[in-house]
């Protein structure tokens, strides 16, 4: 199975970059499934129904979110209706939405997407290790599912790595999001799980993690209250990860980081 994952969309610059470059990426890699993280897609904070529909229109099959999932009030009702958008599986019981997405391709192959949020330097949620382990009790690679992809939305690199080693051989891939910086460590673990600490941001990298740099620098220097940070508006880079799996085992055959457009894709 060919899986394309696009890192955190950061505002309009990220959406414009995705619209411009996704056709090229699709033509080159011919993915079976396209997953897009939309945690910062609407004005840099969360996602709206309108923005979600815009990204589906570009070709996304599943949208993952993150710690900003509830920033736009309207999403609370929308996420209940949209079966292709998921919030983290380790939110407490009773949270709106769902933490997994199961999809059957036209050829009959099945993929499971799991979304998690870390707890190190992040708002406290239920344990992501326990949540993931409980989910995987119902799925076995190569038997009742052909691929399992995990979006691990976390601040700490160590926590992302620990999750990956915890499920090495039980999932096809673990790819990190949230820090908005693409890491140069894409590889396949000993048990056959593809891993990258962070897929990176899809947005304007002439910024501070996607936000206008002047205000971000001022806020850090002066430690004074400022206006809310807003997304940078220059040319965006599409960052993501492409994973190909073995349908018979569900394990990874290859993992390729993607950077196209903007200042990182030159």
What are the C-alpha distances in Å from 130 to residues 27, 90, 101? 38, 8, 18
Active site residue 68: yes
- H or E element at residue 54: helix 49-58
Helix residue spans in 88-229 (DSSP H) = 128-136, 157-166, 213-222
Is residue 241 within 8 A of residue 257, CB to CB? The reply is: yes
- From 32, 81, 65, select the one nearest 152 (Cα to Cα): 65
Cβ neighbours around 95 below 10 Å, total: 18
Q: Which of 21, 68, 146, 153 is catalytic?
A: 68
Taking a C-beta distance cutoff of 8 angstroms, is the pair 183, 241 a contact?
A: no
Q: What is the DSSP string of 53-78?
A: HHHHHHT-SEEE--TTTTSSTTHHHH
Q: Return the bridge partners of 110, or none.
A: 104
Q: Are 33 and 1 in contact (CB under 8 A)?
A: yes
- Asked if 237 contacts 181 with a C-beta cutoff of 8 angstroms, the reply is no
Catalytic residues: 68
């Amino acid at each position: 199975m060919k899986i394309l994952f696009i890192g955190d969309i950061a505002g309009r610059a990220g959406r414009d970059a995705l619209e411009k470059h996704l056709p090229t990426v699709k033509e080159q890699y011919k993915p079976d499934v396209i997953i897009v993280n939309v945690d910062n897609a609407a004005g840099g904070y969360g996602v709206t129904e309108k923005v979600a529909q815009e990204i589906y229109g570009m070709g996304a099959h599943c949208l993952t979110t993150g710690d900003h999932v509830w920033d736009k009030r309207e999403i609370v009702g929308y996420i209940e209706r949209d079966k292709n958008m998921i919030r983290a599986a380790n939110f407490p019981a009773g949270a709106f939405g769902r933490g997994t997405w199961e999809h059957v391709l036209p050829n009959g192959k099945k993929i499971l997407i799991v979304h998690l949020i870390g707890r190190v330097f992040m708002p406290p949620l239920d344990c992501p290790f326990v949540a993931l382990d409980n989910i995987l009790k119902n799925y076995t690679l190569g038997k009742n599912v052909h691929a399992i992809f995990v979006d691990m939305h976390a601040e700490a690199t160590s926590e992302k790595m620990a999750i990956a080693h915890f499920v090495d051989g039980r999932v096809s891939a673990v790819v990190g999001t949230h820090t908005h910086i693409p890491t140069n460590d894409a590889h396949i673990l000993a048990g056959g799980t593809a891993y990258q600490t962070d897929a990176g941001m899809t947005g304007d990298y002439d910024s501070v993690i996607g936000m206008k740099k002047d205000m971000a620098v001022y806020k850090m220097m002066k430690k004074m209250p400022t206006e809310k940070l807003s997304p940078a508006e220059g040319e965006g880079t599409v960052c993501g990860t492409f994973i190909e799996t073995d349908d018979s085992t569900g394990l990874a055959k290859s993992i390729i980081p993607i950077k196209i457009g903007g200042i990182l894709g030159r």
